Structure 1
């Protein structure tokens, strides 16, 4: 049973086991990922980030076709071992690891392209840590119903696609938000084919202060459960609340999650509106672990 080096990192409490496998030699099974992420018998994390060169795996071919400079690919796994397309907090932590270990650099005024299963994401330094351009977003206009333990009736949600799927649900008050029991997986009707993260959100009072929208959110991540933060989830929540608030709503948002605060910014581009996520990324400790 080999010993492999790892690093533990997090973005606003959304934590990850990071394993460097530059040449794609480590074939992690779902059971091995789940064991590493187990909080009682393993290292403990919401997910695993495998650091691998885009050229070393099949999924990297599309990344390099999109951006030849995207040397590194974030192979992200949920804590149950399942593969996920994207993770907004994970991308920032992934970039921090590349920079701290000397595998990559961000020159002044430039960005670092990171390959993911949802395409290339550009990371740059920001006042709060790192900002990642998550690209364009989509909604299908459907309003699925969401049932959750602690909510008296099913609530309509807004579907938001950021490369990974989300359903955002508005609740009436801080008390109602706190009363939801997210140890039980919410039920989405109709059920999305690949599942979805579910965000429950409540606006602050006032909703907008100094030109910035303010909301609070909790999230249930598919394949994980409730987490202290979800990067793409905060973006989905901000996009949904802006849509509900109407044309006068701002394009900059401050999203409070149990693990801290993240920033969301919407901005126009030639190919449509894009959205960026900003916040801290922390590397906690490194060690070695026996891989069963």
Structure 2
């Protein structure tokens, strides 16, 4: 029973949750959660990003992309996180997706995306495909990086049926093994062991490539921090570059990945051009408080 002096406790105001709009995009099935942080910092720690990227308990993605303000010379800064929350230096398919968003936003057919690895110009081609300049590959052992000095065209590395990869950096570390029959290779079992090999102090993206013809390569890639994906743009670039270094491919080729085909050209000036489609799967909102910080 309430006494005569009872005073109801004032109710606390219910504060509105801060929801973060996102766009789910993909390039050949290589999928991304893209959020816009250009107007203020977002409450997204590496642990929270990893939880959101989880395909069973979160939204699910191969990489988590945050758009941030860029200084003069670029239209946006693109920050890339792997699904384990670690930060990546490059992602070709995500670059094409972000370039397409900026083109739709600005009405222009050419934009520049800045990443921690440098500036990547992009343009829209007839038919809606997007081409980006992925920059110049680097071949110094310290650029990949490797644990010690060696010839990056032939690494002294072998595991089971694969051996003698070539390595380069496309803004992130790549090693490419060339095999006779990609379909006969259990590359998913080899990938995690090779990613973590002591030769790669920062880990590495591991490609397994079959040369179908000098202008046609097939490749499956175990992505650093992500595992097997349907496509890896920087990995496709590294595949063409390493194949040409070995005399196995010409400078312009179709690179066939599990999710589809990218058109690659390693120009004589050193730049690697990558062309392919982009798509938006759906739009949504993230409640950051639903995921651990």
Relative distance call for 1:146 and 1:257 in structure 2 (3 A) is farther
| Contact 2:111-2:123 within 8 A present in 1 as well | yes
Q: State the alpha-carbon separation in 2 of the partners of residues 8 and 160 from structure 1.
A: 30
Among candidates 185, 190, 194, match of residue 187 of structure 1: 194
Q: State the alpha-carbon separation in 1 of the partners of residues 134 and 264 from structure 2.
A: 10
Among candidates 235, 238, 245, match of residue 236 of structure 1: 238
Relative distance call for 1:289 and 1:114 in structure 2 (3 A) is same
Among candidates 280, 288, 291, match of residue 288 of structure 2: 291
Q: State the alpha-carbon separation in 1 of the partners of residues 81 and 173 from structure 2.
A: 15
Calculate the TM-score normalised by the size of structure 2.
0.83
Q: Per-residue displacement from partner, 1:179-211 (whole Å, max 9, x unpaired)?
A: 32348603265421211100000011xx13xxx
Please state whether the residue corresponding to 1:33 is helix, strand or coil.
helix
Please state whether the residue corresponding to 2:192 is helix, strand or coil.
coil
Aligned runs of 1:216-227 on 2, under 5 Å?
216-227=218-229
Compute the displacement of 1:227 (Å).
Answer: 0.6
Calculate the TM-score normalised by the size of structure 1.
0.83
Q: Please, what is the CA RMSD of the aligned residues?
A: 1.9
- Whether 1:50 and 2:66 are equivalent positions in the alignment is yes
Unaligned runs of 5+ in 2: 1-16, 141-150
Relative distance call for 1:202 and 1:245 in structure 2 (3 A) is same
- Residue in 1 aligned with 2:209? 201
Among candidates 16, 19, 24, match of residue 8 of structure 1: 24
Structure 1 or 2: larger strand share? Answer: 1
Unaligned runs of 5+ in 1: 55-63
- Residue in 2 aligned with 1:61? none
Q: State the alpha-carbon separation in 1 of the partners of residues 158 and 188 from structure 2.
A: 11
Q: Which is higher, the Rg of structure 1 or of structure 2? A: 2
Please state whether the residue corresponding to 1:9 is helix, strand or coil.
strand
